[in-house]
Amino acid sequence: MPLPVLNVGSLNLDHIFRLEHFVRPGETLAARDYAHSPGGKGLNQSLALARAGGRVFHAGAIGPDGASLKVLLQDAGVDTRYLEEGAAATGQAVIQVDDGGENAILLYGGANHTLTPEQLEAAWLALPEDAYVLTQNETNLTEHVIHEARRRGFRVVWNPAPITDACRQIPLTSVDYLIVNEVEATGLCGFDAEPDAMLSVLHSRAPQLQVVMTLGARGVITDGPDGAYQLPAAPVEHVVDTTAAGDTFIGYFLAAMASGRSLADSLKQATAAAAWCVQQAGAAPSIPLREQLVR
């Protein structure tokens, strides 16, 4: 039985526009296509965890317009007992996807910024001591969640996305697994450098920290107490949309770790899932089921 994961994370309604290029200042641009779908880094990561076979509890908040997000999580097997339904509107994301499959995202936090420490109290008390606690940076309380999870002895996994200046104030000594892309690594380091250099700077700031850095088409590198590896990306025929590729990676990685797989094995699973994700459109709809990865 895999160890449980409590994910304190965002839930968004995504509005996705496909365009020739990202809109420039002062420009009005007609989109080629529009779709709406479930999203939010937190929701995507919970969904990926569940689809990978993990045991996941999602704590977060939605408004009256977010009922479909809760149903989606529940249908995937995510436990939503710590998901609050309040008066504030559900988080929204306006996502531009260009012809190369790259994205640019505009966020409205809404209900994601209404979490309270009291809401999490029951979850802390119910979790077994070997549980993982995962969070991102798309809700309020990020620092509180990391601090409390560490204080209570859980394994702390942090994906500081989207990166903000406030992330640099959070002590990495409270985190066990830090999962970043190059932009997030640059933000945390305070300077831009080659991935290897940023990896060792982050690792040197906290000896207990396993840093996992995703490099898109160049794969993933990691360093920390569980070992140092470099893994190529899994083959991709055609990139359709990179949205939620990082979230898919994190969910699959953590599901594998929580079921006792090695770090190297977990990274391999995660890169295969992320490669599948970038070949489909949308956020949540592009997260594979385990069966879809078995060739």
| Catalytic residue list contains 247 | yes
Q: Kindly state the smallest distance separating residue 56's Cβ from ligand RIB, in Å.
A: 17
Q: Strand pairing partners for 179?
A: 212
What residue spans of 76-226 are helical by DSSP H?
117-126, 142-151, 182-189, 195-204
- 1-30 residues in contact with ligand RIB (CB under 6 A) are 12, 14
Phi/psi for 73 (5° steps) reads -65, -45
Rule CB under 6 A: say whether 39 interacts with ligand RIB.
yes
Which candidate in 14, 79, 223, 247 is catalytic? Answer: 247
CA distances from 72 to 76, 281, 285, 289 (A): 6, 17, 10, 14
**# chain residues binding ligand RIB, by CB under 6 A:** 13
- 273-292 residues in contact with ligand RIB (CB under 6 A) are 283
Q: In terms of CB distance, is 14 or 184 closer to ligand RIB?
A: 14
Stretch that binds ligand RIB, among 36-44, 145-153, 190-198, 229-237 (CB under 6 A): 36-44
Single-letter residue type at 91: G
Distance CA(128)–CA(27), nearest Å, equals 53
Q: Is the peptide bond before 235 cis (omega within 30 degrees of 0)?
A: no
Which of 7, 44, 248, 266 is close enough to bind ligand RIB by CB under 6 A?
44
The DSSP code sequence of 84-112 is: EE-SSPPEEEEEEE-TTS-EEEEEE-GGG
Q: Kindly state the smallest distance separating residue 244's Cβ from ligand RIB, in Å.
A: 5
**Contact of 58 with 7, CB cutoff 8 Å:** yes
Q: Kindly state the smallest distance separating residue 28's Cβ from ligand RIB, in Å.
A: 23
**Nearest-CA neighbor of 4 among 44, 59, 61?**
59
Q: In terms of CB distance, is 2 or 251 closer to ligand RIB?
A: 251
Distance CA(55)–CA(5), nearest Å, equals 6
Rule CB under 6 A: say whether 41 interacts with ligand RIB.
yes
Which of 60, 76, 138, 145 is close enough to bind ligand RIB by CB under 6 A?
138
Q: Which two tokens stand for residue 88?
A: 């504030």
Q: Kindly state the smallest distance separating residue 44's Cβ from ligand RIB, in Å.
A: 5
Rule CB under 6 A: say whether 247 interacts with ligand RIB.
yes
Report the interface residues with ligand RIB, using CB under 6 A.
Answer: 12, 14, 39-41, 44, 93, 105, 138, 243-244, 247, 283
Catalytically annotated residues: 247
